[in-house]
Every structure is written in C-alpha cells, then in structure tokens.
Amino acid sequence: MTAPPEVRLSMPARPESVGVVRQALSGIADALAFDEAVVSDMKMAVTEACTNVVVHAYGGEDGKLEVDMLAAEHGLTIAVRDEGTGIHPRPAIQKTPALGLGLPLIAALSDNFELRGSHGEGTEVRMSFTYTRDHDPADENPVQGTVGADGKWDPSATPPVG
C-alpha cells in the first residue's frame, strides 16, 4: 500500500504565494478525484486563510506562509500557518462590509475547522474536506451575523428579512 499524498509548502507571505498554494491544491485535488463542489469550497477556504496570513500576520513586515496538505482515507486536511502576531482584536481602520467574515467563511466551507494560536505566537488554521459530500457543510456551520450599521461585520446581528 502506498502512503497518502502529502504536500508541504513554505514560502514568503506575499500575494503571489496565494496563487502557488491554489495551484498545488488544484493538483492534489485532481490527483485524489475530489468532487468539483468540494474543490470549489477548498479553494475559497484556503485562499481566504492564505490571504489572512499575507494581509494580517506580519503587519507589513516580511514573514513566512506555510501550508501542509495531507490526504487520508476520507479526505484532505489542510493547515495554513504563520509565525506572525497571532490572533488579537484589531480596530477597523476602514468600513469594509466583509471585515471579520474570513474565519466564519472558512468554518462554513470546510467539513471540520480548527483555529490555533495566540497573540505573538502565530496562527494555524486547520481545515478538512471529505472527497464527496451528501450535504452542504454550511448547513451545519452557518456564518453568523451580518453587516452592522457602522459598516463592520457584526457576528451577533440578524440579517434583515426580505
């Protein structure tokens, strides 16, 4: 029996690195015959996790983006890591409606989601995807909240009806 495929990437936390990760993910997903809907969710979730590293982890300084992809019997686990400032509240400098939506989106798109890290110790986003699905994971992990009156994402707000 052959070992399951494993991909390990370590590169500078720059925008062009996100494209490299997406290409590697496409290759492994194709080799493992993932369902197209799952591949779409994987690409969006992994792109969001990598973009968070590029934009937020190092405060404009140079840093490293690390991605591990490990195949198993039922699916693929992907870990996106940085050695940056870690997770901590940030004041919203601009009024961006999607601000704060990235992690809930990743959780909604993946079949399993973990977030590790703390202030000053880097962050790891670990997500798993099954090869095929008979349900939408967003039904079990719905994104909570909506854009508040101040233009920022409010996880406790209720979307307007209608």
What's the pTM value of the predicted model, to 2 decimals? 0.76
Low-confidence ranges of the chain (pLDDT < 50): 94-98, 162
94-127 pLDDT, tens digit each: 444 445 678 888 999 999 999 988 777 899 999 9
Rounded CA separation 10/82 (Å): 10
Rounded CA separation 158/162 (Å): 12
| Closest residue by Cα to residue 151 from 98, 108, 105 | 98
Helix pair 36-52, 102-109: axis angle to 10 deg: 150
What the chain holds in terms of domains, given with CATH numbers, is: 6-154 (3.30.565.10)
